A and B are shown apart, each in its own frame.
Chain A
């Protein structure tokens, strides 16, 4: 994704004129080296940083400084996980009421398919008494730190458009993702890692592809960088064969010295930015492998997550997410795609939960232990929910946009809380509806932004993550 406005668009000319002066980000050659470099070229250093990724203050005091979004791609069934419906069990095998289906479009099934009762047992957990499925034994232990939203709604009921809506606020391609918006608003606090990092685990990649973490019309520096949980985490991170660290250093030194000569000759400050980019790349070459090296974690932590160094998994990614936010990364998104249970619901959702439940709970626990949960917003959820009606025999559910569940933790979210209700069949939301736009507005609020004011002018108008929609969900705030 990179059709966007000019990179410098939202910068003041004075800042643009000095965008080479990056000492406030603490990256690159550092203040002294750079200012002397630029002094040689006849440029006087001034005070304004103009790196588009320089840390920025939000509009008001934030509760959350960073976000970890656990994206359960494929759309998990709320009816098996969070939203227990005894009436649905009762009416299992019967037809849904006709007036419920008026104007309803399903992706695959004839809407007039029979109802399917919940397939798992539920119980209440923690002091909060939050109701959860037996599939989530680990989450049940940290449930007092979590706010469950049982009243999510969306507009899309196909995967790619649904994932795009959840990520970019619209079903159309070409808009910035929420991670890009947040990075645009807050910049990066990481000195040598990208500000917005994406991992993918599970059986497939996300349906929306790269556009799920694209920068849309925002400058490309805000797009998510896909990390791999084994091998080189970042593409082309390792030196090529035959190039050791000393040669790489010599190479960079030579490139930078020659670039500096060119800077002096042409006066183009963009060259100083390039010198900085090369220095940061060099740093990333050591910091990223260090980040990925889970063997540095103690056995207790690894066991808590169920992570195994060197074996890519969602659990490893959760632990990596913690390591990333510790290092100042602003937005981490973990995709786990496999929740599209049109059939084999019982077996497959149980497997998904085995793969993810422990690590999600561990992430909350770990962040809390380290005092980071209070300013780290963790969000769990998929692109929509699933029908109370059966698909494919007696063991599957179709896509459903009218009601689904998500949870949030930390970062100023009210802990041990359940928001919203759906009707007796889990079909429509009946109380405290939260649209995807509202979720976005709330996320931005927690990060210190009025969602209507985090805007970017493109094609002659101000765009925002929530388009013309969205309300902050006040009851969710601690």
Chain B
């Protein structure tokens, strides 16, 4: 609407200009709110221009009335979007009496007259100016052109795909460096404003460097740029910076806000999680300029691409950045749903630029999004496992390939050396196939009190999946009544599951587990109190782990020597020993089984009550810190066969043996061989060699990702968004007001998949996807987007300042292959971007937010860059890109009660890791890093596409007094003294330039020199102890360069502290 109105505003002068204001008021403009432009407000009465239904009235109805009286709802039987129905009225009679506003209920309702409930019901009363318009429209005869029907309502601008607008002609065409400038200048000229002069070269390079890589230029880089008088000098800097690996870090952080990235789970436990592979994926994707549409597709459905790479699977971590609640007493399904809502919100804000979460509970009040459509999109995401997979660095991946290659080589040698191996293996197969006893799956009831708060979910196959709170110690009680007689043995299967760390079978952070004790009690069903403890004669397992002490993470402060080892440890009655399943690197996360043979068979003529206790006491002391060592998925069975033992053949081999031999693939045959060879005594040396090779298997790390479920999960519309109130079943689909789903190879079984949805999101047909991202990129450069409400381009959005520019950028971006680097180059190459940011009071008054762009941007940099500037200026920065998150110094009390809920590990990083860029700082959601929090860094609770930019005393305290700030000051002082030049003036200029790039002017130098002299005096006189500010260690004296006294270094530290605290130092000018 607004776009349309504003175009005419420029064409038709005053009258249309007032219409522009009217349209502003439609979006809820009131004097207390932010006004995009400073035009005089129209008077509510006394205006004489004619009311135009389509321009003046219908938008009011559309925004305020159609949600309840439109095509979807007709409350009180009244519909206002179709002429005939509007004049016919509703259950309460006619609403519009042409020519008689005061007698028209519609007017009375919106004006709040006559004691009837005011419309819009439940919303803010209409602005008096709008009410007045409605009065004038009705009094004027309520003219409603026949040609204007509901279907002809002009779609909200953002719901129409952008088309390439004509590049406007401007008077001062010479100013424009590229089309961006034509749009900006055209607006300025129409406003009677002129652009500012270009910024000086030093300021420009610093701006460019902060914008493209988030680091200030070094004095050397500045000098090189100043020395380069070629016409391409600036372009070369753009190339250099866009090719820097730090580019991905700077812009990656912007995306990570939208991706609500954090290194912890959130909620009460707020446990550490490993998701930095996703963070690095973002950085790398930007560095290699992965096209933005592919960037989106991989994050939404990378796992569903043909033959997905590890990277493409890692990318789906985007959706997994939701919080996880493992508070005791929760229903995990409730918080899985919360996570689903969060994913939808993140897609809405980060990709679509639309507020869609309203429709979780009801139809969207303003945008044409139905609740059902929300759940149809939701359905695309709902059918996934919450997977936590092992991931490997490139070096580790090579190592893995090497191990597999060498294993295959040795196996090939064995096969070559013994041509009869196929027959021998077939004979072996026959033997092992014949020997298995029959097992009956037990489906016991779980005693809720015994679970320690962990939830045991029965699965379709009789197994339990444990979820929710993970106690570090508990003894779960499982009870079942059975008619089976002569029970001789019990089997415990530990099963893998995608929802467990590294696929399980345990819940420990490595997907392992330990069983402290396995106990069974039996009682006759007729006399359940007559309990006998079942004695076990023997325990066997398909994995024999040698005894080893528990890993450090499981320490329980007991001083006891706690071990895991062979399965006998589960029936030895000792709390310190447990059955362990650690078969070594690369082999830990396999299904396992144990069989417990009763000393005598269990029989009771009337049936038996069996009570099975699984004691899992081999976790650590702190359940809030990933210290559980619990079974993740398991199944119990029993048998009546004599002498049952655990099948040594692994499940994955059993699965292949079940396939007719002629149908097996060569890989499957090789897998069977890989196990069978271990049973051949003559091949012991080769087996030992392979085992040795496998000891070098890389540990890798883990990453939360999405993984498609084999067994579909149905999606229902949830009444009022309540997971306990599922309503109609919905199928995957997309909202009707946006573009249709693509029909392509991504469909499976006649159904669109999550990949189809991803392609839809990243489609060229999408009206908002490209606009949304170019707007946010613009926002990062200029402090405010072309649409100020960058999270919402919908009907409630503030109108764009330059609608044609927004569309032009969006189309150009797509035409250039969705290349973000090309978009950056385009913007930074514009004259608009290169203007000086100096502002006169008059211009500031006219345009405080710089929405007209008559000057360059000037604002304080983001929190992370505040730290990065300190580190760069001081020379402390460790430029390493990527890797696990780091723990720079922080006040330790924050991480222990009562400041935090539970104790949180924060082991200060040693060495260079202290000085990594701030985006690598470990992010606990419940305890944000204080230095970053105080500068408005979001904590990752929800997706954030627009940060606040506050300016507070707490920031001043942080910059002045925080330990890392002081460390930076010390390092800058040292650099100035050692590298700055031959006299103090030069040294000062050097230090100054490291902070703000430019040289100090005479007055600034004088101020700083005077400060330096005074403080040097105080340090030299011993009025202040130099060693205190230098870190309190006189031993450093030996390290001081010749001629540098402690007092000198101390006073330069004080001076550096001034420099690092300057407004300009942390501001992009």
Contacts and interface: CB of A to CB of B under 8 A. Distances in A.
A242 B35 contact: no
Interface in B344-392: 355, 358, 365-367
Contact of A9 (B33, B953, B956, B1069): B33
B549 interface: no
B939 A1 contact: yes
Interface stretch (A116-124, A266-274, A440-448): A266-274
Nearest to A12: B31
A3 B942 contact: yes
Interface stretch (A88-96, A130-138, A195-203, A357-365): A195-203
A246 B845 CA distance: 38
A16 B848 contact: yes
Nearest to B992: A258
Given A242-B1024, A254-B1011, A267-B841, A210 B926 contact: yes
Given A14-B845, A255-B1061, A262-B1064, 18 more contacts: A2-B938, A158-B330, A207-B267, A211-B925, A221-B952, A234-B954, A237-B961, A239-B960, A242-B1026, A254-B1011, A254-B1058, A267-B838, A269-B844, A392-B449, A457-B33, A459-B791, A462-B124, A468-B122
Contacts of B950: 7, 219-221
B816 interface: no
27 contacts: A2-B936, A2-B948, A4-B947, A4-B948, A7-B949, A8-B34, A10-B32, A16-B848, A109-B449, A110-B449, A160-B325, A172-B942, A173-B941, A194-B954, A209-B925, A225-B954, A226-B899, A231-B893, A236-B958, A240-B966, A242-B1026, A251-B1054, A251-B1057, A262-B1064, A270-B951, A273-B951, A461-B366
Nearest to A172: B338
B323 interface: yes
A399 interface: yes
Q: Which of A5, A109, A157 has the most CB of B within 10 A?
A: A5
B864 to A, nearest CB: 13
Interface residues of B, number: 121
Interface string B1047-1069: 00010001001100111100001
B796 A3 contact: no
Nearest to A248: B960
Contacts of B900: 205, 209
Contacts of A258: 1004, 1007-1008, 1058, 1062
B333 to A, nearest CB: 12
Contacts of A235: 891, 930, 934, 954, 957-958, 962
Contacts of B858: 266, 268, 270
Given A2-B938, A268-B858, A392-B449, A234 B957 contact: yes
Q: Is the interface of B mostly helix, strand, loop or mixed?
A: loop
Given A12-B35, A242-B1028, A205 B898 contact: yes
A249 to B, nearest CB: 11
Contacts of A271: 1063
B901 A247 contact: no
A248 B960 CA distance: 9
Interface string A280-292: 1110110000000
B898 A259 contact: no
B437 interface: no
Contacts of A126: none
B841 A274 contact: no
B795 interface: yes
Contacts of B955: 277
Contacts of B28: 457, 462
Contact of B32 (A12, A160, A265): A12
Contacts of B948: 2-7, 219-220
Contacts of A371: none
B199 to A, nearest CB: 11
Interface in A380-419: 391-392, 398-399
A115 B189 CA distance: 79
A207 B784 contact: no
A159 interface: yes
Contacts of A237: 957, 961
B493 interface: no
Contact of B947 (A3, A14, A205, A266): A3
A105 interface: yes
B33 A10 contact: yes
Contacts, number: 319
B57 interface: no
A107 B455 CA distance: 11
Contacts of A255: 1058, 1061-1062
B792 A460 contact: yes
B38 interface: yes
Contacts of A280: 953, 956
A228 B1018 contact: no
B962 A236 contact: yes
B927 interface: yes
Contact of A461 (B358, B902, B1063): B358
A262 B893 contact: no
Contacts of A107: 328-330
Contacts of B893: 228, 231
A198 to B, nearest CB: 10
Contacts of B1032: 241-242
A5 B957 contact: no
A176 to B, nearest CB: 12
A268 B944 CA distance: 27
A61 interface: no
A239 B961 contact: yes
A6 B788 contact: yes
A181 to B, nearest CB: 16
A237 B794 CA distance: 44
A180 to B, nearest CB: 12
Contacts of A207: 267-268, 327, 901
B840 A267 contact: yes
Contacts of A17: 841, 844-845, 848
B449 A259 contact: no
B837 interface: yes
Interface string B969-1008: 0000000000000000000000000000000010110011
Contacts of A391: 449
B942 A174 contact: yes
B949 A108 contact: no
Contacts of A98: none
Given A108-B448, A174-B942, A460 B840 contact: no
A42 interface: yes
Q: Which of A174, A206, A240, A285 has the most CB of B within 10 A?
A: A240
A3 B346 CA distance: 13
B676 interface: no
A337 B1026 CA distance: 44
Contact of B1029 (A8, A221, A240): A240
Nearest to A2: B936
A210 B954 CA distance: 16
B1004 A274 contact: no
Contacts of A128: none
Contacts of B958: 235-236
A257 interface: yes
B918 interface: no
Interface in B852-887: 858-860
B1064 to A, nearest CB: 5
B737 to A, nearest CB: 15
B1015 A261 contact: no
Given A13-B35, A173-B942, A210-B927, A243 B795 contact: no
A352 interface: no
A449 interface: no
A209 B270 contact: yes
A267 B844 contact: yes
B797 interface: yes
Nearest to B356: A459
A244 interface: yes
A240 B137 CA distance: 69
Contacts of A459: 355, 789, 791-792, 796
